[in-house]
Structure 1
Amino acid sequence: MNILDKFHNWRRKQRWDRQYKNGRWNSLKNPIEASRYHTIKDFIITYGKDQPSILDLGSGEGVLNEYLELNSYDYFLGMDFSKVSIEKAKTKKFPNSDFITADIHSYTPKRKYDVIIFNEAFYYVQESEKENVLNRFLSYLEDNGILIVSIYREGSTCWEYFNNLLQLNHKVVTTNQEKTYWKIGVYKK
């Protein structure tokens, strides 16, 4: 990243921490988000292996964990840019789960995962780094693993990065609120 991108990234981190502290992202627990989380969960069950290891990029305070059945995964690592969101996730003490604060632009996993999820996170990656970030995380996906991408609305300049992967499924998850929808895809290398 160039110096300007680094500055904007730093400012974004400050804003995310402030927003989580002020409750701005409590809306992720609202019923309108449920169909999105259920689609991610269904993709894990349908296309992933039993008892998968999961890396949730953009985990926030662990909302996805609240939708997963207890003991339905071997290990879960939630990673988010916001220290405040990760502190909230840690207080929930999900089984077989850890949460870390890290920057998606530079974070390198310590192991491979059966499922990697860009959970409303890929469109925040600096444009100049999207291909590098995707390739880094794909290298930490198990050979038969799946990649799940959830993007709010259109996610312009995002979907073309996944064209070289095998698409297993793609859904548009709509709501009863105008202009509130997600596109969610599941892929293999």
Structure 2
Amino acid sequence: MSGGSPAGGVPTVGRREWNEEYRRGRWRYLGEPDEAARYQAIVARILTAGATEVLDLGCGEGLLARHLETAGFTGRYVGVDWAHSALPPTGGPNRRFVCANLAQLPVRGQFAVVVLSEVLYYLDDPDRALAEALALVAPAGELVVSLYRPAAERHPGWHSLISDLATRLAGLAGDQGALIGSAGHRRWSMHVVTRLPNPGLD
């Protein structure tokens, strides 16, 4: 992950600021009930895909890992975030957390499901991030992307950026379309892209 953003009106946040925000509890609301529906939709997708390994890019405090555990997921989980203060102090059986920049991932191999949950719009180069995330998806596996969908009149900069990202996701080969959901005042979309086998590369 990097700290910049490609769109005007969207704040730039550096690594030190991310660490401070997590220490102060700025992102604690992600663990509140209004967010549970979004995590549950991602978990349902992972379970439906029959995935045995999940890579969670921009995992924050590991909330997806908790929801997966509650749902009975026993496969391999790797969470990556560059805010050290966000990451849980320990992993657990089949669970690993890595502090790293998403632009310089130390992760190797391929995963049945790779998740980008409300992280893509914080990156300097979303297109590169999407390409690199897809490269980590096993053939016939899935890239699952969750995007916050703010109202245009309240957050015009965010709305413009996220609408553009949603359009790019819809244009990817293997795109299965988007699921739109909401809870409380939060509205989000979940995009699923299947990595199509490439006989020349896979």
TM-score, normalization by structure 1: 0.83
> Within 5 Å, which residues of 2 pair with 1:70-89?
72-86=73-87, 89=88
Deviation, 1:122, is 0.7
Across the two proteins, how many residue pairs are aligned to each other? 174
1:40 is matched with which residue? 42
| Distance of 1:59 and 1:108 partners within structure 2 | 15
Equivalent of 1:145 in 133, 141, 144: 141
Equivalent of 1:182 in 151, 167, 188: 188
- Residues 14-47 of structure 1: per-residue CA shift (max 9 Å, x gap): 111001001111111100100000010111122x
Deviation, 1:80, is 0.8
2:167 counterpart of 1:160: yes
Paired residues of 1:168 and 1:188 also in contact (CA < 8 A) = yes
Tell me whether 134-143 or 27-36 shows the greater mean CA deviation: 134-143
Q: Which runs of 5+ in 2 are unaligned?
A: 6-10, 150-158, 196-202
Deviation, 1:105, is 1.7
Q: 1:73 to 1:160 in 2, by over 3 A?
A: farther
Amino acid at match of 2:37: S
| Distance of 1:108 and 1:134 partners within structure 2 | 16
Counterpart secondary structure, 2:86: helix
2:89 is matched with which residue? 90
Deviation, 1:169, is 4.5
TM-score, normalization by structure 2: 0.78
Q: Which runs of 5+ in 1 are unaligned?
A: none
Amino acid at match of 2:101: D
Deviation, 1:182, is 0.8
RMSD over aligned CA atoms reads 2.2
Which structure 1 residue ranges, 4+ long, deviate > 6 Å from structure 2? none
- Residues 86-122 of structure 1: per-residue CA shift (max 9 Å, x gap): 1xx234x443110011111221421111100001111
Paired residues of 2:144 and 2:190 also in contact (CA < 8 A) = yes
Higher RCO, Cα 8 Å, sep 6+ = 2
Amino acid at match of 1:61: E
Q: 1:18 to 1:112 in 2, by over 3 A?
A: same
1:60 is matched with which residue? 60
Greater helix content: 1
